[in-house]
Amino acid sequence: MQNFIDAYSWVNLRFLLEGLWVTIYVSAISVVFSFIIGAILGFIRYVKIKYVSALVGFLIDVIRNLPLLLIIFFMYFGLPNTIGVRLSTVNAAILSLTIFESAMLAEIIRSGISAVDTGQMEAARSNGMSFMQAMWYIILPQALRRMVPPIVSQFVSLVKDSSLATIILLPELMFHSQVIYGQNTNYMIPMFVALAVLYFIICFLLSQLSHLLARKLG
Amino acid sequence: MISILTTYWPDFVEGLKYTLSASVLALIGSLIIGLIFALFVINPLKPLRVIGRIYIEIFRNIPLLVVAMFFYIVMPQFIPHLDGFTAGTIGLIIYTSAFIAETIRAGIESVDLGQMEAARSNGMSYIQAMRYIVLPQALKIVIPPLGNQFVNLVKNSSVLAFLAGFDLMYQGNLIASTTFKTTDTYLAVGLLYLILTMPLSYLMRYLEKHWSTGAAE
Amino acid sequence: MKQTHFKVRPFLLVGLLLTLLTVLSGCGDNLAQQDVMARVERTNRITWGVKNDTRLFGLMNIKTGQIEGFDVDIATAVSKEIFGKDVNVKFVPVTSNTRLPLLKNGNIDALAATMTITPERKKEIMFSDTYFNAGQAIMVKKGSKIKSVKDLTKGTKVLGLQGSNSVANIKKYAPQAKVLQLADTAQAFTALKSGQGDALTSDNGILYGLNRDDPKYQVVGGTFTNEPYGIGANKGQEKFVQAINKALKKIEADGTYQQIVDKWFGKVAGFDGSVIK
């Protein structure tokens, strides 16, 4: 018990919260970017532009089938070496998460749109709507309702996945807890409890958001 | 990249062995545990439903790394001789089983409820109806998502690299730090992961398409 | 029609993938080639890679968020000596595994991160003169049967750091032992305490720092290698390395170096400060 009291000293808690802030910051930016990019890529894949869609689809499949850990390593160590940009750990983490999660989201969005009955598109078009109009007014609203739960659960994954960036010493929640218990192993169990609770709170709140959205849209 | 692959081929093979064993063991383990918790959450008994829900919500909302690390450095105080590979595989099982439980639950619930009632009114017990009527139908629905879970397992098993678990990612790290050829090493590692995961995920996409049209007929 | 589509695609895709990989692995030009001297004089800002989990050398102070230690002080003193008192010294945490790629990619200008000068590393980067003489040792739980590196026989497990010289050495000195490599010092020590290995091998200074964290563990058997630490810089930075060497001589002559040694190693039991230099 004493370990818990000592471990949750103000100094340690503040350090953990600093880590939590980086986790939230990196996740939030990656969520926005990956949603935009994922939506564009998913759409390109759905509309089947000759060659372009196949190429995009292939790149998405490659990224989806690689471990995120590898993408993080590659972005932090490999990419600067290859094209000569210098990335901070925060930017490398945001970039890796965005690349990985937008590929995952693109697939969700593509299959979400495809799942809406194709007959509806034809009906809308024969009623004089353009492809874009039919997409915007008929298909997307329906697809969105289907897509919200998987998209939000992908965002939850993103938050959880950001912990992997501890490998490049991103000063996020997991890393900061490792710094604390690394300096005093008595704090190990309290730190794991704190990690579990903090991640759970963020992720659980996020997934509740999905129910809320689903109800609104439904 | 090619020279890294050929020079360190034995190490890569070693890594592939560990990655595959961790993934296969974790798949079996998480299928069993996932099925148990799926049956919990759809159970008529409320306490079981609550336990199932809690388990699923907890482990779906905590990072795999936290779970695996916990088994690597905290659990050995209580269970000795829990090495990195074992700890990582246990972490994978617990983490993945929460997702598999959800997948199986959704699969079972998508089987028409009337069938359960019909089976029960024909004198089958709840367990018999589940075993002979509902689960076989649910199986077909859940195979593609379960296949995708296996792809996820192969990718997620890279968490073993944090625990000195000898997997592909770990070997890659060691090779990168001995040869200093970081980019080439990670490209090679990526290629090997793709060889494991790509065909499987294409197969699952094919099955998904094939079986869903089959079901509509 | 669908069938033929399905047959052609994988073949095309594999070709595409291989092309992509070849293109990516073929390139390689980066910022690290810029002259550090000129850039720092222009921007008044220098970035060092240091450890952040290694007590005595580079350890994150949880209270202040700053990294503190011998390497940090040496890096600061050297920077001020070369570029003047007002230079901005920035520290980026590195591990044994990440330090060389980060230097070569240009994320950091120089490394003071408990790094031994070795012939293999000399092929990749440049080193300054030695600024610290360490030696490899092993650490075990008090009361362990392992008394020296010779006791690391078949069936024993040794923990080490990925990318460190100690894991390369331990394979020579204890070829029978199983080596488990972790990402950084803190992870390796936590793993030792969790019973993931029978011994932890690293350099004596690092191990004494860990010993301070937890006196239930001890360094046994003395050192069995020489590990001269050098400051690392990129190839082609001859001017920078010469300036570092000059600065090292200067801080040694004016007593700054001794002050830093006393500050970090003066009170370390079992560590003879005279062997450092």
The pLDDT tens digits for C117-150 are 999 999 999 999 999 999 999 999 999 999 999 9
Q: Give the H or E element holding residue C157.
A: strand C157-161
* pLDDT tens figures, B85-128: 999 999 999 999 999 999 999 888 888 778 888 888 888 888 88
Distances in Å between the Cα of C215 and the Cα atoms of C69, C182, C208, C209, C268 are 20, 22, 10, 10, 12
Determine whether the interchain pair B177/C22 forms a contact, defined as Cβ–Cβ distance below 8 Å: no
User: Assign residue C143 a region: left if phi > 0, alpha if psi is -120 to 50, beta otherwise?
Assistant: left
Distance in Å, alpha carbon of A183 to nearest chain C alpha carbon: 7
Round to whole Å and give the CA distance between A8 and A190. Answer: 8
Mean predicted confidence (pLDDT) in A139-155: 88
Residue C116 scores a pLDDT above 80: yes
Report if residue C17 sits inside a domain.
no
Q: Which of B18-22, B156-160, C216-220, C264-268 has the lowest mean pLDDT?
A: C264-268
Domain boundary among C184, C199, C220: C220
Contacts of C106 in chain A (CB under 8 A): 80, 86
Enumerate domains of chain A plus CATH numbers.
2-217 (1.10.3720.10)
Same domain, C111 and C244: yes
Same domain, C119 and C249: yes
Same domain, C126 and C99: yes
Residue type, B198: M
Same domain, C65 and C173: no
Q: Cα C201–C207–C209 angle (5° rounding)?
A: 160
Report if residue C20 sits inside a domain.
no
Distances in Å between the Cα of C243 and the Cα atoms of C31, C34, C73, C81, C106 are 20, 16, 17, 9, 19
What is the DSSP-derived secondary structure letter of residue C55?
T
Q: Give the H or E element holding residue C178.
A: strand C178-182
Q: What is the DSSP string of B43-95?
A: -SSHHHHHHHHHHHHHHHSS-HHHHHHIIIIIGGGTSS---HHHHHHHHHHHH
* Number of domain units in chain C: 2
Mean predicted confidence (pLDDT) in B173-180: 91
Report if residue C198 sits inside a domain.
yes
Round to whole Å and give the CA distance between C101 and C232. Answer: 12
Burial class (CB in 10 A: 0-12, 13-18, 19+), B88: buried
Distance in Å, alpha carbon of C108 to nearest chain B alpha carbon: 16
CA-CA-CA-CA torsion sign (C76, C79, C83, C84): positive
Q: Give the H or E element holding residue B29.
A: helix B9-41
Share the mean pLDDT of chain B.
90
Predicted model pTM: 0.89
Share of chain C above pLDDT 90, in %: 73
Q: What is the pLDDT of residue C3?
A: 36
Same domain, C64 and C114: yes
Report if residue C273 sits inside a domain.
no
Residue C89 scores a pLDDT above 70: yes
Residue of A nearest to C32 (CA): A84
Same domain, C129 and C142: no
Burial class (CB in 10 A: 0-12, 13-18, 19+), A42: buried
Name every residue in C having a CB less than 8 A away from some CB of A: 9, 13, 16-17, 24, 27-31, 52-53, 55, 59-60, 62-63, 65, 93-95, 98, 101-102, 104-107, 183, 185-187, 189-190, 193, 213-214
Determine whether the interchain pair A65/B201 forms a contact, defined as Cβ–Cβ distance below 8 Å: yes
Q: What is the pLDDT of residue C8?
A: 46
**Which has the higher per-residue pLDDT, A77 or C76?**
C76
Mean predicted confidence (pLDDT) in B171-186: 91
Shortest CA distance to A199 belongs to which of B63, C114, C140, C213?
B63
Same domain, C89 and C155: no
- Joined together, the tokens standing for residue C193 give 């305490």
Report if residue C104 sits inside a domain.
yes
Same domain, C127 and C234: yes
User: Is A168 at the interface with chain C, CB within 8 A?
Assistant: yes
Same domain, C63 and C197: no
Mean predicted confidence (pLDDT) in B136-144: 83
Same domain, C45 and C125: yes
Residue B153 scores a pLDDT above 80: yes
**Which has the higher per-residue pLDDT, C5 or B40?**
B40
Report if residue C188 sits inside a domain.
yes
- Joined together, the tokens standing for residue B115 give 């069938």
Q: Which residue segment(s) compose the domain that C168 sits in?
A: 136-220
Determine whether the interchain pair C162/B180 forms a contact, defined as Cβ–Cβ distance below 8 Å: no
Report if residue C205 sits inside a domain.
yes
Same domain, C51 and C129: yes
Q: Which of A192-201, A208-217, B62-71 has the lowest mean pLDDT?
A: A208-217
Instruction: Check which CATH number belongs to the domain holding C165 and give it.
Output: 3.40.190.10
Enumerate domains of chain B plus CATH numbers.
2-216 (1.10.3720.10)
Contacts of C96 in chain B (CB under 8 A): 177
Report if residue C13 sits inside a domain.
no
Same domain, C176 and C122: no
